[in-house]
Amino acid sequence: MIDEVRLLSADEARDIVAVLDALRSAWLVRDGQTRAFATLGRAAYLDLCGGRRTVEEYRRLAADQNAHLTAGFGGLLERVRAKVEDETGNPALLTEDWALPGFHIFTGDGLQSAGAGGAHFDLQFRDLIGRAATPPKEILSFTVALELPHAGSGLRVWPIRPLQLVGTSKTRDGDEQLSQYLVRKPSVYVPYAVGNLYLQREPILHCIWNGTPIESSDRRITLQGHGLELGGELVLYW
Q: What is the 3-state secondary structure (H, E, C) of the chain?
A: CEEEEECCCHHHHHHHHHHHHHCHHHCEECCHHHCCEEEECCCHHHHCCCCCCCHHHHHHHHHHHHHHHHHHHHHHHHHHHHHHHHHHCCCEEECCCCCCCEEEEEECHHHHHHHCCCCECCCCHHHHHCCCCCCCCCEEEEEEEEECCCCCEEEEEECCCHHHHCCCCCCCCCCCCHHHHHHHCCCEEEECCCCEEEEECCCCEEEEEECCCCCCCCEEEEEEEEEEEECCEEEEEC
Q: Which CATH number does the domain 2-237 belong to among 2.60.120, 1.10.357, 3.40.50, 1.10.150?
A: 2.60.120
pLDDT the model gives residue 20: 98
- Model-level pTM? 0.91
List the domain boundaries for the chain.
2-237
Give me the pLDDT at residue 21, please. 98
User: What are the 10-residue block averages of pLDDT along the chain, 238 residues in total?
Assistant: 96 98 97 91 96 96 97 98 97 97 95 84 93 85 98 93 60 62 84 98 92 94 97 96
